[in-house]
Structure 1
Amino acid sequence: MIENPKSGRVKKTAALARKKERQEYGRFLVEGPQAVRELLAYRPGLADVVFATTGNEPWQHEIDRLASDGDVELERVTGQVLAAMTETVSPQGVVAVAQTWDTSLDEAFADAKLVVIMHEVRDPGNAGAVLRAADAAGADAVVFAGESIDPFHPKVVRSTTGSLFHLPVVVAPDLAAVIDAARAAGLTTLAADVRGTDLLAARSEGVLAGPIAWVFGNEARGLTDTERALTDRSLKLPIYGEAESLNLATAASVLIYETAFAQRAN
């Protein structure tokens, strides 16, 4: 039982909330029973250690079993120690330390039919929600391009609720290189943009039925003209009511699912 919230191990674990330490150690935090469960079930080889409080929580037995099956170190800690390891106001009793990973564009795009590219997306909640929607819709990969938020940021990891471990995730600084790789893999690149043509027209043309890579821009400014010009086509989601716009996560979810429906109907 780890009882001292000021111990060196606790401080080193808590430091992974910062990008500098994540990059230095190649490790990140996975918080909460759902995310830890998905880590242990889908990517146990990435897990270094699981820290869990004692008690009769509903998830306790399954987390213990998955850690044992994956030969992952399991440490019992006090509630104070767990709170010191995370930035969450109300920790849910379990935290894991996992290894970050690199996936190449060629690997992620091989045989892909649906890819989601986020460019300059900065909000962790938006990024996590888009990744989760991509996973739910059966996308083959998600790319964090340009100066997008780190996919291993604790808030992104939490908001994906485990989807981070279900599909390839790529970090790529150069959007042009991402577009080139998508095109080389046979994907049509579509920019989501209010200046684009109507989604319904593209749907009726059968555009969405083929292999597609969606490009979503920054929450505040979207995509620049130069960035849009890199893609094959720009499409907009029509708004029929009086709302000024949709937020990124909502719009992206609709477009990703529209594509998934079209591809499965084809």
Structure 2
Amino acid sequence: MPELTNPRAERVKAVRALAGRPARSRSGRFLVEGPQAVREAVREQAVRVHDLYVTDDAAARYREIVADAVARGVVVRTGSAEVLDAMSADAQGLVVVADLVAVALEDVVAPGPRLVAVLAHVRDPGNAGAVVRAADAAGADGVVLTRESVDVHNPKVVRSTAGSLFHLPVATGAELPAAVAALRARGVTVLAADGTGEHDIDDLLDVAGAAPAGVPDLAAPTAWVFGNEAWGLRDEDRALADAVVRVPIRGRAESLNLATAATVCLYASARAQR
């Protein structure tokens, strides 16, 4: 296609507007920025991708991404560096416009998952994206974001997932009680991660696969519920879980970052389930 050279063109403005939720809601599309996320969007869910915008330099640097896009029927449009910068300050020469990833709670629950991350009132985009990435790395079967959590199509969330958004189902808009009930109906134990937990995650790993009565078994199908970055889980949210589990602080740190604590919990389950 002819190169796009005008950073003030209507097409460029329309792409840039997708950084905001109103434009995403109206169009049903969102931005995917940077080589890693664009590579995975094209490779894993090309059917959702409408356009790939790329500078000549990026096209030469990431030939495999462009070739993959062409082979999968994605429209590739070249643009000047000024055009790509106008579309996104985080483009690194590559931007994709794709359909919103619409996943329902049932899509995560119906297959009978063994490991799920549930984000309740998680508002920080970087943390939410990092948890999706950690869940993917730990081999989780899905992620659920409650209605009060950040929009998973927020550009910072998408970037923070580093492409993992396109690897596993990420359901949005669920109510926490409904999510817990649906998971429990599938035989999934629901554990709330909280510093006040009655169970220590290290102790649970010691008895995984042979946990005594009344003690959660990390080897069993498990959903971890993670709360807000600032105040954690509300009392009513903790009450929904089968048990509350803490990650021990061995040193002098006041607490763990949400994404770090989530990674510890998800990998503990992954290890026990192996």
TM-score category (smaller protein): over 0.9
Which residue matches 2:34?
32
In the TM superposition, structure 1's runs of 4+ consecutive aligned residues that sit over 3 Å from their partners are: 56-59
Equivalent in the alignment of 2:197: 196
Equivalent residue, structure 1, for 2:119: 118
Q: Does 1:152 align with 2:153?
A: yes
CA distance in structure 2 between the aligned counterparts of 1:126 and 1:103, rounded to whole angstroms: 20
- CA deviation digits over 1:74-125, x for unaligned, max 9? 000000000111143xx31100001002222222122210000011111111
2:33 and 2:58 map into 1 onto residues whose CA distance is 18
Is contact 1:141-1:169 (8 Å) kept? yes
Q: Which runs of 5+ in 1 are unaligned?
A: none
Partner Cα separation in structure 1 for residue 73 and residue 58 of structure 2: 22
Choose the corresponding residue for 2:224, options 191, 196, 214: 214
Give, in angstroms, the shift of residue 59 of structure 1: 4.1
Aligned to 2:212: none
- Inter-partner Cα distance in structure 2 for 1:25 and 1:84: 19
Counterpart among 257, 267, 270 of residue 257 in structure 1: 267
Provide the aligned length of Structure 1 versus Structure 2. 262
Distance in structure 1 (CA, Å) of the matches to 2:58 and 2:153: 29
Identify the match of residue 236 of structure 2 among 226, 236, 239: 226
1:70 has 2:72 as partner: yes
Match for residue 52 of structure 1 among 28, 51, 54: 54
Aligned to 1:108: 108
Q: Does 1:19 align with 2:21?
A: yes
Cα distance in 2, alignment partners of residues 58 and 112 from structure 1: 41
Task: Assess if the C-alpha contact under 8 Å between 2:57 and 2:93 holds in 1.
Answer: no
Identical positions, percent: 49
Aligned 8 A contact 1:33 1:59 in 2: no
Moved more, 49-58 or 227-236: 49-58
Cα offset, 1:55, TM superposition: 2.2
- Any stretches of 5+ residues in structure 2 without a counterpart? 209-216
The answer (yes or no) to whether the contact 2:105–2:174 under 8 Å persists in 1 is no
Question: Residue 200 of structure 1: CA displacement?
Answer: 2.3
State how far apart, in whole Å, the 1-side matches of 2:114 and 2:60 are: 38
CA contact (8 A) 1:172 1:178 kept: no
TM-score for both structures, normalised by structure 1: 0.95
Normalised to the residue count of structure 2, the TM-score between the two structures is 0.93
For 2:242 and 2:186, the matched residues in 1 are separated by 14
Distance 1:59 1:160 in 2: 22
SS of the counterpart of 2:231?
A: coil
Distance 2:60 2:131 in 1: 28
Query: For the residues of structure 2 that align with 1:139 and 1:181, how far apart are their CA atoms?
Result: 17
Q: Is the 8 A contact 2:5 2:79 kept in 1?
A: yes
1:167-198 deviations in whole A, cap 9, x for unaligned? 00100241111111111121100000111121
